Amino acid sequence: MGVLMWQACSQGAIPFAGDTNSGDTRRRASINRRLGRPKQCQENLWAVISDCLLNEPELRFEFSAIKKRLSDLQDIRPPPPPPPLIRCIHCNNEFPQDQVDDHEVCIRILIS
């Protein structure tokens, strides 16, 4: 399950793409080499995936526990990014793009 989730987060990348035969795979396992966290994978999701990638099967979570942990993650989504800032060429102040209409006061004062 961990490799499947890793592939989903890495946009379908092949795990250990450099391994060309079963000897490479055994050697990787013998030195305890693990898949790294994909760039697009949030830290809290990586914690779940990482636990699914443990070498010892008895230490891995059962599917019901994985489902619960993933459900819990949905409740703690990060907040959306703030709107982009725009700098007024008249007063040099920055303000959110969605407040452009409110800032027209600065322009009206300069024009008057």
In the 8-state DSSP scheme, what is residue 92?
A: -
The structural domain count of the chain equals: 2
pTM higher than the cut 0.75: no
Write down the pLDDT at residue 26: 63
Do residue 34 and residue 69 come from a single domain? yes
Q: Measuring CA to CA, which residue among 48, 53, 41 is closest to residue 65?
A: 48
Write down the pLDDT at residue 86: 82
| First-to-last C-alpha distance (Å) of the chain | 66
Instruction: Report the 10 Å Cβ neighbour count for 3.
Output: 13
Beta strands in the chain (DSSP E): 85-87, 94-96
Two tokens, residue 23: 């000897």
Q: What tens digit of pLDDT does each residue of 42-94 get?
A: 899 999 999 999 888 899 989 999 999 998 887 666 677 887 888 887 778 88
Is the pLDDT at 33 greater than 50? The verdict is yes
Residue 64 domain boundaries: 2-74
For all residues of the chain together, what is the average pLDDT?
Answer: 79
Do residue 11 and residue 46 come from a single domain? yes
Do residue 10 and residue 56 come from a single domain? yes
Do residue 90 and residue 65 come from a single domain? no
Do residue 37 and residue 87 come from a single domain? no
CATH number of the domain enclosing 69: 1.10.510.10
